[in-house]
Amino acid sequence: MTAAAALKQPAVKTALSVDKVAMHFGGLVAISDMTFSVGEGEIVSLIGPNGAGKTTAFNVVTGFLTPTHGDVTYRGQSLRGMKPQAIADLGLIRTFQRTSVFPNDTVYDNVLIGLHRRGRVGVLPSVLGLPRVRRLEAELKQKAAELVEWVGLGRRADDLAGSLSYGEQRLVGVALALAAEPSMLLLDEPVSGMNASETHTFVQLIRKIRDRGITILLVEHDMPMVMSVSDRIVVLNYGRIIAEGTPDVIRNDPAVIEAYLGQGVKHA
C-alpha cells in the first residue's frame, strides 16, 4: 500500500470494503487474501493480467460466488450469505464481461427490464391496471427512453440488442445497469470491443455516471483509458494485490511493470 493511497482514503467515506477475501475453486486459488476499499463517489480500477482474478472478485462482491474466506461490506452492511438480487437491492449493480444484454429484446425494452427495481408493484394492481400502476408504467417508459438517449443509443432504441455491434451492446449493458439505480456500479471490461472513438466517448460517460453520485469499480485492460479515468488503481496478479495507488504511482511501480512485462497485456 502506497503512502498516497493511505493519505487519500480517510478523506472519503468508504462505500465498499473487501476484507481478506480468498476464493478457491477446488485446488485453484483464484483470489488470495484480497483487501481493498472503494470510497463513495470514487472511480477505482481493478487491473491485472488475464486470469488474475478480477472477474472472480466481481462475482464475490455481487454474491454470485461465496468467498472461501473473508468478508465484503457495502455501506456498513456485511454481504455474507446474501443472494445476488438482494445485493442488487442495496444498490450494488454490475455489468458482465461477456453478454450483458437481453439479446431478443429491443434496446429500449432491455432498459425497461432493467428498471425492474423501480417498477416493482403488486401483481394484482398491475393486472387490474390501477391508475397508480399506469402512472408508474408511463414514468418507467419515459425513464427508459431517457436512459437510452443518455448513453447515446437513441438511434438504436428499437433494434434488437443482440443485433448491435459488440461495443454498442456494452453500452446497452451499462444503460441496463444504470436503470437498476445503482449507488455503486461495477463494470467488467466495458470498452473491450470498442474502437478508439467509442472508448473516448465511454470515458466521458463514466465521468458523467460518477457525477450522478455513483461510485465506480472498473475492470479494464485498456491501460490508457484506466490511467485517464481512475482516481485509484488496484493491481492484481495471480489473485494477489501487488500494488495500489493513484495512476501516477501505479505507472511507475516496479512490481506492476514486472507483472505486465512478464505476461504482456492481452486485450481480451
Q: Binding residues for Mg ion, per CB under 5 A?
A: 54-55, 97
- Tell me how far, at minimum, the Cβ of 47 lies from ligand ATP, in Å: 9
User: Of ligand ATP, other proteins, Mg ion, none, which one does residue 25 interact with (CB within 5 to 8 Å by kind)?
Assistant: ligand ATP
Applying CB under 6 A, what is the total number of residues that bind ligand ATP?
13
Cβ closer to ligand ATP: 133 or 242? 242
Compute the distance between CA of residue 119 and CA of residue 124 in angstroms, rounded to an integer.
14
- Tell me how far, at minimum, the Cβ of 4 lies from ligand ATP, in Å: 24
Compute the distance between CA of residue 146 and CA of residue 34 in angstroms, rounded to an integer.
38
Q: Which of 116, 200, 210, 240 binds other proteins (CB under 8 A)?
A: 116
Q: Which of 16, 18, 21, 30 binds ligand ATP (CB under 6 A)?
A: 30
Q: Which of 41, 49, 119, 239 binds other proteins (CB under 8 A)?
A: 119
Q: Which of 177, 205, 206, 209 binds other proteins (CB under 8 A)?
A: 177
- Tell me how far, at minimum, the Cβ of 56 lies from Mg ion, in Å: 8
Residues 41-80, one symbol each (x = binds other proteins by CB under 8 A, - = not), give ---------------------x-x----------------
When asked if residue 153 is in the footprint of other proteins (CB under 8 A), the reply is no
Compute the distance between CA of residue 93 and CA of residue 87 in angstroms, rounded to an integer.
8
Q: What would the DSSP string read from start to end of the chain?
A: --HHHHHHGGGS-EEEEEEEEEEEETTEEEEEEEEEEEETT-EEEEE-STTSSHHHHHHHHTTSS--SEEEEEETTEE-TT--HHHHHHTTEEE--SS--S-TTSBHHHHHHHHTHHHH---HHHHHHT-HHHHHHHHHHHHHHHHHHHHTT-GGGTTSBGGGS-HHHHHHHHHHHHHHT--SEEEEESTTTT--HHHHHHHHHHHHHHHHTT-EEEEE-S-HHHHHHH-SEEEEEETTEEEEEE-HHHHHT-HHHHHHHHHH-----
Q: Which stretch binds ligand ATP (CB under 6 A): 23-31, 100-108, 117-125, 241-249?
A: 23-31
Cell triple for 178: 444504470
Cβ closer to other proteins: 99 or 252? 99
- Written as one letter, the residue type at 159 is D
- Tell me how far, at minimum, the Cβ of 229 lies from Mg ion, in Å: 18
Binding site for other proteins (CB under 8 A): 62, 64, 83-85, 88-89, 93-94, 96, 99-106, 108-109, 112-114, 116-117, 119-121, 123, 126-129, 133, 137, 140-141, 144-145, 157, 176-177, 179-180
Contact footprint for ligand ATP (CB under 6 A): 25, 28, 30, 48, 50-56, 97, 268
